Structure 1
Amino acid sequence: MMAPPALDALLLVIGCLVTSAAFTVLALRYARWHQLLDLPGQRRSHSAPTPRGGGIAIVLTLLLGMTLLDWPQPRVPLALGVALLSVALVGWIDDHRPLSARVRIVVHALAALVLVGVWLPLAGAADTALVLPFAALAVFWLVGCINAWNFIDGSNGLLASQCLWLGLALAWVLAGVEGEAALLARPLAGVSLALAGACAGFLPFNAPRAAIFLGDVGSGALGLACGALLLAALVLAPGRAACLLILPSAILVDAGLTLAWRVYTGRRWYTAHREHLYQWLVRSGCSHAAVALGYLAWNLFVVLPACAAAWRWPEAAPAIAGAVLLLAAVLWWQGKSMLRRRARIKGLIR
Structure 2
Amino acid sequence: MATDVPRLALLILPLLSLLCSGLVVRGAIGYAHRRGMLDQPGQRRSHIAPTPRGGGIGIILAALVFLPVCLRLLPAPLPSAETLALCIGLALVAGTGWWDDHRPLPVLPRLAIQSLAVLILGMAMVADGLPILWLPLLLAAGVGSTNLHNFMDGIDGLLAQQALFVFAGAALLAMGVQAWALAGASLVMLAACLGFWLFNRPPARIFMGDVGSGALGFFVFALAALLWRERTALAWPLATLSASFITDAGLTLAVRIWRGRRWYSAHREHLYQWLVRKGATHRQVGIGYAMWNLAVCAPLAALAWCESGKGWWPCIAAYALTAAAWARLKRRCLRRVPTGDRHVNA
TM-score by length of 2: 0.93
Q: How far, CA to CA, are the matches of 1:318 and 1:3 in structure 2?
A: 35
Q: Return closer, same or farther for 1:36/1:327 CA change in 2, 3 Å cut-off.
A: same
CA contact (8 A) 2:6 2:180 kept: no
Secondary structure at the residue paired with 1:208? coil
2:85 aligned residue = 79
CA contact (8 A) 1:152 1:251 kept: yes
2:195 aligned residue = 201
Question: Which residues in structure 2 correspond to 1:93-132 (within 5 Å)?
Answer: 93-122=99-128, 124-126=129-131, 131-132=132-133
Q: Return closer, same or farther for 1:319/1:40 CA change in 2, 3 Å cut-off.
A: same
Q: How far, CA to CA, are the matches of 1:303 and 1:72 in structure 2?
A: 28
Secondary structure at the residue paired with 2:336? helix
**Counterpart of 1:39 in structure 2: which amino acid?**
Q
**Counterpart of 1:251 in structure 2: which amino acid?**
F
Secondary structure at the residue paired with 1:313? helix
Q: How far, CA to CA, are the matches of 1:292 and 1:119 in structure 2?
A: 35
Q: CA deviation at 1:315?
A: 5.3
Q: How far, CA to CA, are the matches of 2:151 and 2:197 in structure 1?
A: 18
CA contact (8 A) 2:94 2:215 kept: yes
The 4+ residue runs of structure 1 with deviation greater than 3 A are 1-7, 313-316, 347-350
Secondary structure at the residue paired with 1:214? coil
Ranges in structure 1 where 5+ consecutive residues have no aligned partner: 179-184
Q: How far, CA to CA, are the matches of 2:159 and 2:64 in structure 1?
A: 19
Secondary structure at the residue paired with 1:286? coil
Q: How far, CA to CA, are the matches of 2:34 and 2:4 in structure 1?
A: 38
CA contact (8 A) 2:224 2:238 kept: yes
2:292 aligned residue = 298
2:140 aligned residue = 140
CA contact (8 A) 1:2 1:8 kept: no
Q: Return closer, same or farther for 1:341/1:119 CA change in 2, 3 Å cut-off.
A: same
**Counterpart of 1:145 in structure 2: which amino acid?**
S
Q: How far, CA to CA, are the matches of 1:79 and 1:268 in structure 2?
A: 34
Q: Return closer, same or farther for 1:88/1:290 CA change in 2, 3 Å cut-off.
A: same
Q: 2:246 matched to 1:252? A: yes
2:26 aligned residue = 25
**Counterpart of 2:144 in structure 1: which amino acid?**
G
Q: Return closer, same or farther for 1:88/1:37 CA change in 2, 3 Å cut-off.
A: same
Secondary structure at the residue paired with 1:343? coil
1:181 aligned residue = none
Q: 2:47 matched to 1:41? A: no
Q: 2:328 matched to 1:334? A: yes
Per mean C-alpha deviation after superposition, the further-off stretch among 21-30 and 231-240 is: 231-240
Deviations 1:104-147 (A, max 9, x none): 1111111111111112245x443xxxx23x10000110000010
Q: Return closer, same or farther for 1:163/1:270 CA change in 2, 3 Å cut-off.
A: same
Q: CA deviation at 1:53?
A: 0.4
2:94 aligned residue = 88
1:182 aligned residue = none
Question: Which residues in structure 2 correspond to 1:305-344 (within 5 Å)?
Answer: 305-314=299-308, 316-344=310-338
Q: CA deviation at 1:216?
A: 0.5
CA contact (8 A) 1:2 1:190 kept: no
Q: Return closer, same or farther for 1:260/1:191 CA change in 2, 3 Å cut-off.
A: same
Q: How far, CA to CA, are the matches of 1:307 and 1:81 in structure 2?
A: 28
Q: 2:266 matched to 1:272? A: yes
Q: Return closer, same or farther for 1:111/1:3 CA change in 2, 3 Å cut-off.
A: farther
Secondary structure at the residue paired with 2:337? helix
2:230 aligned residue = 236
**Counterpart of 2:182 in structure 1: which amino acid?**
L
CA contact (8 A) 1:2 1:9 kept: no
Q: Return closer, same or farther for 1:98/1:6 CA change in 2, 3 Å cut-off.
A: same
Q: How far, CA to CA, are the matches of 1:341 and 1:269 in structure 2?
A: 23
1:62 aligned residue = 63
Q: CA deviation at 1:348?
A: 4.7
CA contact (8 A) 1:3 1:9 kept: no
Deviations 1:264-300 (A, max 9, x none): 1100001000000000011111111111121111111
Q: How far, CA to CA, are the matches of 1:234 and 1:168 in structure 2?
A: 16
CA contact (8 A) 1:3 1:186 kept: no
1:156 aligned residue = 156
TM-score by length of 1: 0.92
Q: How far, CA to CA, are the matches of 1:41 and 1:2 in structure 2?
A: 54
**Counterpart of 1:19 in structure 2: which amino acid?**
C
**Counterpart of 1:116 in structure 2: which amino acid?**
G
Aligned CA-pair RMSD: 1.9
Q: What is the count of residue pairs matched by the alignment? A: 337
Secondary structure at the residue paired with 1:81? helix
Identity %: 43
